[in-house]
Structure formats: C-alpha cells, structure tokens
DNA sequence: GCTAAAACATGATAATTATCAGTTTACCAT
DNA sequence: ATGGTAAACTGATAATTATCATGTTTTAGC
C-alpha cells in the first residue's frame, strides 16, 4: 500500500509543508512512486517535464553536458528535495539532466497540482521562492569558487561538502560514495586530475580511501587548504 | 517632482507589474530615488538590506570578492531589474556587492512593501518566483560555461552577451563599455589574460577597439569560437 | 591643455591543468 | 570463484593560464 503525503515526514523539508490539507490531498491522490537503480535517469536535459520529483531516499545528480562531452554536476539532491520545479515554474524544458547516484525512491507529482497551488496559495509560493532563493545563492557561490579557486582547493571543499551534507557512516567513511569521475564533474576538472589530487590527499593523510569508499581524516587541514593556507 | 510607480514603464519588466493598485500605491509612497555615479556602491556583501533596488537607468555589477582578492562578477543588472530581492526574501545579509558600472538611477523600495505583498498576493509572488527561476537557470549555465570552456571561449561569449543584452550604439560599438578588468571578472580570469585575448581578437578582425570602446566585427566567427570551432 | 593616475599592453617565465597512452585494480554477473 | 568490464591509477607531455615586471597609452580632473 502506498503511503500518503499527509503522513510523509519528508514533506517537512520542502515547500509542500505549506500546502493546505485539501491541496495536499490532491497531490497525494495524483502522485506516483518510482524506484530508480543507480545510474538510471529521472529525466534528461531538453525533456519536457510533466511534473516534479520529490526525493524520498537516495541521491540524484543534476548535471549538464557541455560541448566537449564532459558533464558538469550543478547540484546533488537528496531526501526531501524537489527536483524539476525550476523548469515547471519557468515553463521551460529541463535545463539539466537528473540521474540517480545510488538507488532512489522518488514521488512524481504532476505539475498541475503544483501550478494550481502556486496561483492561489501565497504561503506555498513564498516557501518555494525561499527554497529557490537558497539554491540561487548556492549557485552564485559555486560560480565564485569554481572560477577563483584551484582544483586542489575545490576538491578539498567537495570533501567537506559531502561530509556536511550527507554525513558519515559508522566507520567514518562519507555516507555518499561518488566515483572519481563524479567528483571531477562536481569540481569541474579532468577525471585524471581529480584522481591524482585524491591520491595526494591520501598520501598526505588528509583523507583515507578504501576502494570507492572515501573518508575525511584531517578536517582542519582540508579546511585550511580551502581557505588558501 | 518625483514620478509615481503607477506610471513607471520600467515596472513592466519586473514583478512589480503583478501588484494591485493599492499595493503599488504603497510602494510608490515609500520608495525613494537615488542617483549613483559610476563606481559607487549600492551595497556591499555582508550588508543587511532594508529593501530592494529597482534599476531605472544604468547598469550595476553584482560581484563577490574571493580569498585571492579578485572580484567575480556574477550578474549585470540593468533597466527594470530588481537588485537585492534574493537577500530580502531569504532574510539573509547580502551575498554579493552591487556597484554602478556607469551612472545610475535607482528606486529604493523598503522591504516591508515587498514582504507584505509576498505574503498575500500569489500573482506577485509567482512573478518574483518566475524571475528567480530564470536567474537560477542563468547561474547554472554560467557554472557549466566557466568550468568547461576555455578563457578564449568565455571572452568570445561575453562579447556576444554584451551585444545581445545591452545592444550597440550608432557607431556599432557595444552600448555597455566595460573595462578589461571588469571583463576578466565576468569570465573569471586574470586581467592580463583577458587583455591579451582581446588584443588577439582585434588582430584577427573579430572585434574592433578604440580605446575603451569595443565593438563586434565578425559575429559568426565569435560564435564559432564559443561553440568550439 | 597638462599632468597624474588608471587602464592597457607585452614579454618572460612559472604554475596549473588537460590530454593521451597505458597498466593495474576492483567489482559485478554468471 | 572467476572472467570480463569499468573504474582507478600512473607517467609523460602538451596546452592553458597565472604571475611578475615593466613600458605605453588613455582618461579624468584641474
């Protein structure tokens, strides 16, 4: 049996919490649940979206392909985040692709449930607006980082970001495991460059690595690196 | 005598057009007009904003200082654009500095006029949301460009951007004149690198330059450069 | 119009980063 | 458990970009 949005804890993390009982009921009646295996796409850039996706579990990378064939990851979305709302609101086709980084469970919410509410419930609209304001700030910060910091600094920062946003497991490894290629696509560099720097970090004792699993060993030093010594 | 928002053409370009007569009247009664000379700041990053600025004329650069002392320009805002709304909505201090690129005239609108309307007028809130969705898309695109394109490509793109967004004067020069340093801060590179590439473009006949004035000579070639030949 | 300051320009060099080519390792499906 | 495949790694080299030093031109203010 499908669970209802009304009882969904995830909702507390996003704008859906500002919906009225009735609005939420409509969403719940029209939503569908979808499971994705690691690597499967939610949607591709250029696609028309008929709704948004609310992440219940797992992580999705939002990325854009550039002319030289490399993907740039613009955002990692996890539990509670709503994917695709920018495109739905702007009534544009998707600017980014969304692909599952690990196994995911998402709810698909048809766009009508969202757009109707946007037109009549200012609480909801304002809440969505606040989330988007936050995303915009983050995007601005990424622009500054990517253009003013070295690859080494950006990779150090990525490690700290992964720890702060996705936490660590019992053994102290980062809870979100990204491939070296994904890391390079987050920081915007060649995969080989990322690999080399990660190896360096390991040799210097800043991080530890066991296969794909990566862990932070010396957070202070990493932070110093980010800040430019 | 001060002009009234109700009669202001500029308003058509931004979310204020979705305000009701009464709301607009309040804005008009509480707004103040301000003139800025080239180089003067509207606000600095970290500052608390008590309202937003609506640009009547001139252009402002929104930038952020990085640890290495270089400014990164994140956006150029001109006629009709509202500056500072992201910070006001998120109830954060300013993430960016806003400085006049040329002489400007702006209206300052106290934040209460905005936030009150946001809470009760979904048309207005949605309109602001749409504008922010647009800004977010642009920011995402900048991230991809800056990390995946060469400096040469980004400078070529900047020229095309300046033409498309600010137009040309009677003599075919770009209507918005930026210093080489500002250009380097837009594309995220060292000033010397920008200067060198601009000189190159001139030698190759892609652009022409007379002092600070810059003009596009061969738009097709520039576009080919951006697209990677 | 003159002058100081700012902006622009160029060369030499160093540092960073990408690319290519190849090897080793880890992981998944059978 | 094992073979095939993708990911991780390494070295050599090239390309891009930053930095520093210095000279020249332009601009803005008096």
Instruction: Quick: pLDDT tens for B42-84.
Output: 999 999 999 999 999 999 999 999 988 899 999 999 999 999 9
Task: Considering all nucleic acid strands, name the nucleotide whose C1' atom is nearest to the C-alpha of residue B193.
Answer: D17
pLDDT at B86 over 50: yes
Q: How far apart are CA A135 and CA A128, in angstroms?
A: 11
- Hey, which residues does A83 pair with through a beta bridge? A53
User: In 10 A of CB A176, how many CB atoms?
Assistant: 21
Nucleotides of D under 7 A from a protein CB: 7-12, 16-21, 26-27
pLDDT at A199 over 60: yes
Q: What is the DSSP letter of B6?
A: G
Query: Picking from A179-188, B7-16, B58-67, which range would have the lowest pLDDT averaged per residue?
Result: B7-16
| Closest residue by C-alpha to C1' distance, nucleotide C25 | A211
A-chain residues near B82 (CB < 8 A): none
pLDDT at A152 over 90: yes
pLDDT of residue B2: 60
pLDDT of residue A3: 79
Show the tokens assigned to B147. 């990390």
Among the partner-chain residues A64, A96, A133, the one whose CB lies closest to the CB of B132 is A133
Mean pLDDT score, A213-228: 94
B212 CA → D28 C1’, Å: 13
- Hey, which residues does B32 pair with through a beta bridge? B108
Nearest to B70 by CA among A145, A75, A35: A145
Q: What percent of chain A has pLDDT over 90?
A: 87
Q: Do B140 and A95 touch (CB under 8 A)?
A: yes
A211 CA → C25 C1’, Å: 9
- Radius of gyration (C-alpha) of chain B in whole angstroms: 19
A-chain residues near B146 (CB < 8 A): 143, 146-147, 188
Q: Are strands A51-57 and A82-83 parallel, antiparallel or unpaired?
A: antiparallel
Q: How far apart are CA B55 and CA B107, in angstroms?
A: 7
Residue B129 phi, psi (nearest 5): -60, -45
**Would you give the end-to-end CA distance of chain A in angstroms?**
55
Mean pLDDT estimate for chain A: 94
Task: Considering all nucleic acid strands, name the nucleotide whose C1' atom is nearest to the C-alpha of residue A150.
Answer: C16
B-chain residues near A66 (CB < 8 A): 144-145, 148-149
pLDDT at A210 over 90: no
Q: Do A228 and B147 touch (CB under 8 A)?
A: no
Show the tokens assigned to A211. 């296969």
pLDDT of residue A76: 97
Show the tokens assigned to A162. 């992964």
Nucleotides of C under 7 A from a protein CB: 7-12, 16-21, 26-27
Show the tokens assigned to A22. 């009735």
Q: What is the 3-state secondary structure (H, E, C) of chain A?
A: CCCCHHHCCHHHHCHHHHCCHHHHHHHHHHCEEEEECCCCEEECCCCCCCEEEEEEECCEEEEEECCCCCEEEEEEECCCCEECHHHHHHCCCCCCEEEECCCEEEEEEEHHHHHHHHHHCHHHHHHHHHHHHHHHHHHHHHHHHHHHCCHHHHHHHHHHHHHHHHCECCCCEECCCCCHHHHHHHHCCCHHHHHHHHHHHHHCCCEEEECCEEEECCHHHHHHHHHCC
| A114 touches A88 (CB < 8 A) | yes
Nearest to B198 by CA among B154, B168, B228: B154
Render pLDDT for B88-147 as a digit per residue (tens, 0 to 9).
999 999 999 999 999 999 999 999 999 999 999 999 999 999 999 999 999 999 999 999
| DSSP run (H or E) holding B90 | helix B85-90
Show the tokens assigned to B123. 């048309």
For residues B101-111, b (16+ Cβ closer than 10 Å) or e, as one string? Answer: bbebebbbbbb
Q: How far apart are CA A144 and CA A165, in angstroms?
A: 20
pLDDT of residue A2: 60
Q: Do A129 and B89 touch (CB under 8 A)?
A: yes
Contacts of A211 (CB under 8 A, 6+ apart): none
A73 CA → C30 C1’, Å: 34
Task: Considering all nucleic acid strands, name the nucleotide whose C1' atom is nearest to the C-alpha of residue A196.
Answer: D9
Packing angle of the helix pair B21-30, B111-120 (nearest 10 deg): 160
Q: Do A227 and B135 touch (CB under 8 A)?
A: no
Residue A83 pLDDT level (bands cut at 50, 70, 90): very high
CA distance B90 to chain A (A): 6
pLDDT at B224 over 70: yes
- Radius of gyration (C-alpha) of chain A in whole angstroms: 19
B-chain residues near A94 (CB < 8 A): none
Q: How far apart are CA A140 and CA B96, in angstroms?
A: 9
B39 CA → D30 C1’, Å: 21
Q: What percent of chain B has pLDDT over 70?
A: 99
| A92 touches A43 (CB < 8 A) | no
Q: How far apart are CA A226 and CA B183, in angstroms?
A: 26
| DSSP run (H or E) holding B214 | strand B213-216
**A151 touching B (Cβ < 8 Å):** no
Chain A / chain B CB contacts < 8 angstroms? 134
**B126 touching A (Cβ < 8 Å):** yes
Mean pLDDT score, A213-225: 95
| A56 touches A130 (CB < 8 A) | no
A192 CA → C21 C1’, Å: 13
Show the tokens assigned to A134. 């936050």
What residue in A sits closest to B70 (Cα-Cα)? A148
Packing angle of the helix pair A122-148, B111-120 (nearest 10 deg): 130
pLDDT at A18 over 90: yes
Q: What is the DSSP letter of B218?
A: -
pLDDT of residue B1: 45
pLDDT of residue A11: 82
Residue of higher predicted confidence among A73 and B1: A73
Mean pLDDT score, A63-92: 94
The SS3 assignment for B147 reads: helix
pLDDT of residue B182: 97
| A207 touches A217 (CB < 8 A) | yes
CA distance A63 to chain B (A): 9
**pTM (two decimals):** 0.94
Residue A7 pLDDT level (bands cut at 50, 70, 90): confident
Among the partner-chain residues A67, A145, A149, the one whose CB lies closest to the CB of B227 is A67
Q: Do B129 and A137 touch (CB under 8 A)?
A: no
pLDDT of residue A1: 45
């Amino acid at each position: 049996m499908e669970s209802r949005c009304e009882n969904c804890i995830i909702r507390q993390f996003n704008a859906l919490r500002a919906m009225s009982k009735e609005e939420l009921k409509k969403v719940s009646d029209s939503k569908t649940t979808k499971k994705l295996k690691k690597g499967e796409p939610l949607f591709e850039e250029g696609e028309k979206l008929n709704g948004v996706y609310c992440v219940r579990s797992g992580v999705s990378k939002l990325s854009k392909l550039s002319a030289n064939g490399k993907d740039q990851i613009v955002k990692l979305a996890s539990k509670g985040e709503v994917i695709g709302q920018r495109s739905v609101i702007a009534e544009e086709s998707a600017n980014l692709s969304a692909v599952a980084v690990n196994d995911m469970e998402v709810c698909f919410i048809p766009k009508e449930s969202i757009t109707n509410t946007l037109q009549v419930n200012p609480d909801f609209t304002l809440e969505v607006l606040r989330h988007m304001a936050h995303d915009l700030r983050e995007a601005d910060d990424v622009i500054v980082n990517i253009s003013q910091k070295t690859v080494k600094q950006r990779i150090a920062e990525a490690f700290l970001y992964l720890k702060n946003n996705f936490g660590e497991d019992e053994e102290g490894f980062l809870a979100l495991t990204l491939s070296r290629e994904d890391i390079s696509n987050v920081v915007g560099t060649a995969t080989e460059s990322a690999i080399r720097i990660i190896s360096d970090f390991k040799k210097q004792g800043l991080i530890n690595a066991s296969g794909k699993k990566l862990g932070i060993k010396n957070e202070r030093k990493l932070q110093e690196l980010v800040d430019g010594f």
